[in-house]
């Protein structure tokens, strides 16, 4: 999808780079679409590798660390953005349209659906298929799976993932434990080990 985003028609603007960076960030950070859409330049601390998510769902703000590879992509996008808008006024939002305004949520979704069809994740006439929010679900599920496979107590670490995702209650994150068949398999393996270890 990210390669396809870079081939979007840009009309000399940032559109391909904007969607490449946005969809990539959503896939590696677990951010809600609206949280990424509302990021402003001062919210992106590339030196510290931290995003500040302000007034998100339920009015909570939080800090989200990002990997060095993500910082590199963000830095490249910001440099392109600054070159493009060096002599013209532009919104303070990180992700902007070719007109310099904050990206429209409808356009974000339409672009995601168009790219999904283009790369075969959806049929040409499908009204159902992958959703942007699925990137967040996948991030959470894969994090839990990684913890299980590393032998860590995923249930005990659930409050950490909950805070990272911006959930109000850790129980809101608990349902991710059944979101992937691989997670169910790991849970069954642990349960079987416990039964085998009983005297």
Any idea which residues carry the catalytic annotation?
32, 57, 133, 136, 167, 176
Buried-exposed string 8-33: b where 16+ CB fall within 10 A, e elsewhere: beeeeebbbbbbbbbbbbbbebbbbb
Among residues 62, 75, 67, 76, which one has the least CA distance to residue 27?
A: 67
Q: Report the 10 Å Cβ neighbour count for 59.
A: 8
Among residues 112, 108, 110, which one has the least CA distance to residue 95?
A: 108
**Structure-token pair, residue 7:** 């081939």
């Amino acid at each position: 999808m990210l390669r396809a985003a870079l081939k979007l028609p840009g009309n000399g603007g940032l559109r391909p780079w904007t969607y490449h960076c946005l969809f990539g960030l959503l896939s590696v950070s677990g951010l809600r679409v609206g949280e990424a859409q509302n990021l402003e330049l001062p919210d992106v601390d590339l030196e510290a590798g931290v995003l500040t998510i302000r007034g998100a769902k339920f009015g909570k703000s939080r800090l989200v660390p990002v990997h060095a590879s993500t910082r590199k992509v963000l830095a490249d996008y910001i440099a392109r953005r600054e070159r493009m808008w060096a002599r013209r006024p532009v919104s303070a939002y990180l992700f902007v349209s070719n007109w310099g305004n904050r990206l429209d949520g409808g356009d974000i979704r339409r672009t995601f659906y168009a790219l999904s069809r283009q790369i075969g994740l959806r049929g040409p006439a499908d009204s159902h298929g992958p959703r942007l929010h699925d990137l967040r679900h996948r991030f959470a599920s894969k994090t839990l799976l990684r913890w299980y496979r590393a032998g860590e107590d995923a249930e005990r670490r659930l409050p950490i993932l909950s805070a990272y995702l911006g959930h109000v209650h850790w129980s809101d994150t608990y349902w991710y434990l059944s979101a992937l068949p691989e997670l169910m398999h790991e849970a069954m393996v642990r349960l079987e080990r416990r039964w085998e270890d009983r005297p």
